[in-house]
């Protein structure tokens, strides 16, 4: 089975590398890191990742995957990328995302009428595309599977692996990864963080989220035309 994982400039690498770590533990999966060229792609924090395929020579995906990150904003109006995702989605068995990758899928028209999740700061923007936002770590709706923000990519990967290969094999992968979270603090989501901390975080994100919202609104309008 081919796993086509989209790369793009200024992605959040853990959105990608969390699921990547899970997928590469199943010998039936051939993972392809795909972008417009084979030039290194630099993530939002400066990590360089090397694509293994391009849009032109990428095989048909069985699992189509889109991560998120600040660069997702530009992708929502990138016709070349959106067209690539639409073409791949026609033959894909699973259409998936982590974090704001769901907004890219939504901009391509691939989540309309479905339930999905996203990073907590932007989950409300899914509704502009006719998507039902669900605030959970992993959301499944038919063959659409989405993970919430960043660290939920591992949960997403293990969930999908359990569906395809069975719970026992997924649990073995979890064990070998020693994925047994015990965070040093509570408060990793708005539901558990102190209200004043959440308010401060939203205030810090306000200019960036306003930029994302403006592009989301344009992308949603373009999809309706």
**Is 0.85 surpassed by the pTM of this model?**
yes
DSSP class per residue in 173-206: HHHHTT-----SSS-SSTTTS-HHHHHHHHHHHH
Q: Is the pLDDT of residue 29 over 90?
A: yes
pLDDT band (50, 70, 90) for residue 123 = very high
99 is catalytic: yes
In angstroms, the CA 220 to CA 76 distance is 9
pLDDT at residue 55, as a whole number: 98
Q: Is the pLDDT of residue 225 over 90?
A: no
Q: 148: phi > 0 → left, psi -120 to 50 → alpha, else beta; which?
A: beta
Give the mean model confidence (pLDDT) for residues 184-188: 94
Q: Is the pLDDT of residue 211 over 90?
A: yes
pLDDT at residue 97, as a whole number: 98
Of the residues 99, 108, 110, 170, which is catalytic? 99
Give the mean model confidence (pLDDT) for residues 214-225: 95
pLDDT at residue 203, as a whole number: 96
Q: How do beta strands 53-54 and 115-116 pair? A: unpaired
In angstroms, the CA 206 to CA 96 distance is 27
Please report, rounded to a whole number, the percentage of residues in the chain having pLDDT higher than 70.
Answer: 100
Structural domains present in the chain: 2-224 (3.40.50.880)
CB 102 within 8 A of CB 116: yes
Task: Give per-residue pLDDT as tens, 36-71.
Answer: 999 999 999 999 999 999 999 999 999 999 999 999
Give the mean model confidence (pLDDT) for residues 125-142: 98
Task: Give per-residue pLDDT as tens, 140-160.
Answer: 999 999 999 999 999 999 999
């Amino acid at each position: 089975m081919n796993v086509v994982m989209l790369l793009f400039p200024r992605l959040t690498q853990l959105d990608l590398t969390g699921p990547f770590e899970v997928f590469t533990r199943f010998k039936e999966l051939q993972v392809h890191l795909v972008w417009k060229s084979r030039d290194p792609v630099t993530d939002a924090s400066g990590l360089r990742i090397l694509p293994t395929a391009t849009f032109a020579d990428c095989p048909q995906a069985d699992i189509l995957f889109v991560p998120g990150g600040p660069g997702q904003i530009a992708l929502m109006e990138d016709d070349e990328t959106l067209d690539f995702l639409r073409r791949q989605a026609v033959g894909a068995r699973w259409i998936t995302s982590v974090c704001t990758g769901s907004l890219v899928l939504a901009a391509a028209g691939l989540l309309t009428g479905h339930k999905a999740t996203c990073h907590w700061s932007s989950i409300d923007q899914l509704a502009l595309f006719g998507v039902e936002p669900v605030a959970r770590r992993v959301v499944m709706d038919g063959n659409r599977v989405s993970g919430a923000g960043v660290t939920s990519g591992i949960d997403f990967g293990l969930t999908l692996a359990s569906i395809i290969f069975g719970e026992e094999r997924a649990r073995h992968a979890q064990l070998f990864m020693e994925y047994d979270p015990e965070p040093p603090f509570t408060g990793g989501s708005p539901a558990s963080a102190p209200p004043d901390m959440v308010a401060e975080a939203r205030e810090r994100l306000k200019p960036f989220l306003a930029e994302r919202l403006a592009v989301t609104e344009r992308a949603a309008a373009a999809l309706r035309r």
